[in-house]
């Protein structure tokens, strides 16, 4: 009788260990093999592909600037369509390429009345490498940390002209310079929520007598699954919906034109950016609107009114 009891008890504890191991494995597989990392909408730094995978991200971003305090009363409309490709060389090394199509429209008061100046074309190509240097996986959660480095290439046009002459440099499709980029990104993910924090710094250099100010971006994103509240058992991972809250900060140094500082350039803007994502096995559809909550610009510049973005991401 006692031997049977010991045998039954041992079997019960063995089953408990098996069940816990099974649950841990299932939880971990849900994280590591779910449709895709539901990364931030307004930053590409956290885009991550597994080994041999390709991620394609297409977005349309519309920026409206107005409330210009200068006599020109400028308004600026920018439509950017960035195509982002990510390839997982290994589980630790990713390559990210971004090539945008850009349309810019500047309306301003002149001595002859209200005038419009436009530029359109391909922007500057950006190539980044990302290395995963920290990864801690636990049942139902994972922590990842990467370093980022790369270069922005002067592929966009900087010589667009109209009836008023050559367009201003900030209206041109490209910067005209070779710009190194460095940064880091941290991702913490569970079955219901995800937090991403990234820092990137762009070292803008001189091109054709003009040098845009260096740019520092800091982005924080929180994603929370609202539907379904619980994943159905035994059916894998279905499509689900995330609510997204982001804080996106941009600091830009003053520009220089032929050695002279451009006083009406650069400054700091902090956006609060609510959004929503529909995540499926291979695709993510997303939308966000950015509202500037802090704008401390140098000199007389148009202020950003809002930024509206929407897009689709596919994983192969």
Distance from the Cα of residue 274 to its chain's centroid = 14
In a domain, 2, yes or no: no
Within a domain: residue 57? yes
Is residue 78 a part of any domain in this protein?
yes
Q: Look up the domain containing 52 and give its range.
A: 34-315
Residue 32 pLDDT > 90, yes or no? Answer: no
Which tens digits make up the pLDDT trace of 59-88? 999 999 999 999 999 999 999 999 999 999
Domain tally for the chain? Answer: 1
**Is residue 170 assigned to a domain?**
yes
- Would you call the peptide bond into 228 cis, given omega within 30 degrees of 0 as the criterion? yes
Please check whether residue 234 lies inside any domain of the structure.
yes
Report if residue 263 sits inside a domain: yes
CATH code, 158: 2.40.160.40
The verdict on residue 29 lying in a domain is no
Residue 102 belongs to a domain: yes
12-24 per-residue burial string, b: 16 or more CB within 10 A, e: under 16: eeeeeeeeeeeee
- Checking if the pLDDT of 36 tops 70, the result is no
Q: What is the pLDDT of residues 215-269, one digit of tens each?
A: 999 999 999 999 998 877 766 667 899 999 999 999 999 999 999 999 999 999 9
* pTM, entire model: 0.87
Q: What is the pLDDT of residues 155-172, one digit of tens each?
A: 999 999 998 999 999 999
């Amino acid at each position: 009788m006692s031997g049977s009891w010991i045998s039954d008890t041992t079997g019960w504890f063995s089953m408990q260990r098996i069940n816990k191991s099974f649950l841990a494995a299932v939880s971990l597989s849900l994280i590591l093999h779910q449709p895709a990392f539901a990364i931030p909408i307004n930053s590409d730094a956290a885009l991550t592909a597994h080994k041999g995978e390709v991620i394609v991200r297409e977005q349309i971003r519309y920026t409206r600037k107005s409330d210009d305090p200068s006599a020109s009363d400028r308004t600026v409309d920018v439509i950017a369509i960035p195509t982002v490709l990510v390839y997982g060389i290994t589980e630790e090394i990713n390559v990210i390429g971004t090539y945008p199509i850009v349309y810019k429209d500047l309306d301003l008061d002149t001595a002859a009345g209200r005038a419009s100046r436009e530029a359109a074309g391909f922007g500057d190509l950006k190539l980044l490498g990302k290395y995963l240097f920290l990864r801690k996986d636990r049942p139902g959660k994972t922590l990842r940390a990467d370093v980022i480095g790369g270069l922005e290439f002067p592929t966009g046009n900087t010589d667009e002209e109209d009836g008023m002459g050559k367009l201003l440099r900030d209206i041109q499709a490209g910067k005209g310079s070779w710009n190194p980029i460095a940064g880091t990104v941290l991702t913490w993910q569970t079955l219901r929520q995800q937090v991403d924090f990234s820092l990137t710094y762009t070292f803008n250099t001189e091109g054709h007598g003009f040098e845009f100010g260096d740019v520092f971006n800091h982005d924080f994103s929180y994603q929370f699954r609202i539907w379904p509240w619980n994943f159905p058992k035994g059916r894998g991972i279905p499509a689900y919906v995330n609510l997204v809250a982001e804080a996106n900060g941009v600091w830009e140094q003053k520009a220089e034109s032929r050695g002279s500082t451009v006083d009406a350039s650069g400054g700091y803007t902090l956006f609060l950016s609510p959004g929503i994502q529909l995540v499926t096995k291979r695709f993510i559809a997303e939308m966000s609107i950015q509202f500037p909550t802090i704008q401390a610009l140098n000199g007389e510049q148009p202020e950003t009114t809002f930024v509206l973005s929407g897009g689709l991401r596919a994983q192969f």
